[in-house]
Amino acid sequence: MESFNQKLNSQLESWIGPRDQRVRGWLLLDNYPPTFALTVMYLLIVWIGPKYMKHRQPCSCRGLLVLYNLGLTLLSFYMFYEVNGLLGTEGGPEQSITNVLWWYYFSKVIEFMDTFFFILRKNNHQITFLHIYHHASMLNIWWFVMNWVPCGHSYFGASVNSFVHVVMYSYYALSAIPALRPYLWWKKYITQLQLIQFFLTMSQTMCAVIWPCSFPRRWLYFQISYMVTLIFLFSNFYIQTYNKSSGSPKKEHENGSLASKNGHANGTPATHKKLRAD
């Protein structure tokens, strides 16, 4: 296995260039197969999980959902606060930012639990192409980012996404508490916030292309391309969800909770048939 990893690493470096030595020896970063294996495991669970749960009762997981979403809210806040705080310091904070960005990479492993909760709660309608594509691709992309460009422009998208996740996962935590659901009026704006982050990240990346810096251009082009796919998929989700539901205002409240289809529902009952975009 070690020989295979060495050959793969050499091949990747011949294609992409030398790796950043600052992350050498960090958990999961030395070799690509562990990240790839985690992704394959995720996809297998997405495929097998609903079949396993088909003739079983859905799990409530209410208390666990509150803790899980609260934990991701706090982690996202930590990453957003730390990255933006370090940007204002002197003395070259790149290593410190790289340390925080490792947590951002690892958070993408943790976020696989979003899908696993859907499976356990039998919310299979939530497991869309957009949801799977977003979760599986982000982990793999960030393995490459951490190995080749763990600082520089890479901080921006992670910082904005962490802020969005503070809002998003705090909503999920609150929505897992039935008594609070009637007061959660702002879920529609989470998808809008997600779209804004993609446009901001793409705009910032385009500025780096127009006014060149030392950041590798191929990474900038890749990021722009990836943002385009997310803008397309999330916009399609938004149009399909809110344009269709806007014609039925009477269905906005059902059994004391918001029931219109939207992108945010890992804390709500399967009977509400909500969708979520991420």
Show which residues are catalytic. 134
What is the residue type of 237? F
Q: Is 249 helix (H, G, I), strand (E, B) or coil?
A: helix
Residue 51 to residue 127: CA distance in whole angstroms:
13
Dist CA 43 CA 56 (whole Å): 21
Location of structure tokens 């909503």: 171
CB 71 within 8 A of CB 166: no
Q: Do residues 271 and 198 lie in contact, with contact meaning Cβ atoms separated by under 8 Å? A: no
Closest among 204, 182, 194 to 259, alpha carbons compared:
182
CA–CA separation, 7 vs 3, rounded Å? 6
98-to-94, 95, 137 alpha-carbon distances in Å: 6, 5, 20
* Residue 15: strand pairing partners: none
C-alpha span between 157 and 94 (Å, rounded): 16
CA 251, CA 240: separation in Å to the nearest integer? 16
Report the chain's terminal Cα–Cα distance, integer Å: 34
What is 82-115 written as a DSSP string? HHHHHHT-SS--HHHHHHHHHHHHHHHHHTHHHH
